[in-house]
Amino acid sequence: MTEAPAAPIRRSIRAHFLGRIPYRRAHALQASLVEARIRGDIGDTLLLLEHDSVITLGRSADAGHIIVSESSRSRLGVDCVETGRGGDVTFHGPGQLVAYPIFDLKPDRCDVRKYVQDLAAIMVDLAALHGVGAGVVPGDQKLIGVWVDLASKAQFPGPETRGRIAKIGAIGVRLSRWVTMHGFAFNATTDLAKFALIVPCGITEYGVTSLASLEAGEPSVAELAKQVLPLFASRFDADVTPATADETQALFSLPAAASSL
């Protein structure tokens, strides 16, 4: 007799909205949360926020993909940080929803590819809430993320029929003992001109886009953070509960991680 597969685990996720926060502070917080999650001191935790303007370089980044001088970047008030996520160079700034899941994928979700696919699917669903048809480009590791076909904004066609695509959502992750760090960035009202400071994700063939540039509204990051909660709940088979202000403040009292970047 064949044994029935184990039932999926129902997860419990506490979601924290941090508002706008500098990248370095958020990164240090993530590192502390990852260690706390590994120890079992906290449960699965989701950080939702937006950053001050910053260029970040992933593990495989080419520094030559920053195409503005350091003095010009500083004059524009754009920070630059080397970080341990996957991927190349990207930009974060106001008007961009950033999601950092600190999830323990054990025991039933230990599949990095599936995890990245789940993050992409959440952004696809979020775009759909605003009338934008987004999708992924399969088979090309360089094009990881979520894309919109500028010739077909309401529906993302198959790769064989697509026209001119642009990225609306970026993904970069890191795992430690199956506990996740980093996550995704979804452009709502982001200043797309700032992406001209870099070669985004090392991709020269295609540009970036946002809900605002697609004339799909100008939702605030706080509004998007609320909208994304049920999407995480559905994709991760979880109960997602917004944290109180006191609970969020308590996150910053966790012991600092040994290495913040």
Known catalytic residues are 201
Domain range 11-241, CATH class:
alpha beta
Domain ranges of the chain: 11-241
Would you call 113 exposed, middle or buried from its count of C-beta atoms within 10 A (0-12, 13-18, 19+)? exposed
Predicted confidence at residue 36, as pLDDT, reads 96
Task: Give CA separation, 176 vs 12, 17, 75, 179, in Å.
Answer: 20, 23, 36, 5
Predicted confidence at residue 202, as pLDDT, reads 87
Predicted confidence at residue 139, as pLDDT, reads 82
Predicted confidence at residue 258, as pLDDT, reads 58
CA distance 43 to 95: 28
Give the pLDDT of the chain (261 residues) as one tens digit per residue.
454 555 678 999 999 999 999 999 999 999 999 999 999 999 999 999 999 999 999 888 888 899 988 898 989 999 999 898 888 899 999 999 999 999 999 999 999 999 999 999 999 999 999 999 999 998 888 899 999 999 999 999 876 666 789 999 999 999 999 999 999 999 999 999 999 999 888 888 899 999 999 999 999 999 999 999 999 999 999 999 999 999 999 999 888 775 555
Predicted confidence at residue 45, as pLDDT, reads 98
> Which of the 8 DSSP states describes residue 127?
H
Predicted confidence at residue 255, as pLDDT, reads 84
The model scores a pTM over 0.75: yes
Q: Do 46 and 240 form a contact (C-beta atoms < 8 A)?
A: yes
CA distance 138 to 135: 9
Beta strands in 52-177 (DSSP E): 54-57, 79-82, 89-92, 96-102, 134-135, 146-149, 165-176
Predicted confidence at residue 4, as pLDDT, reads 52
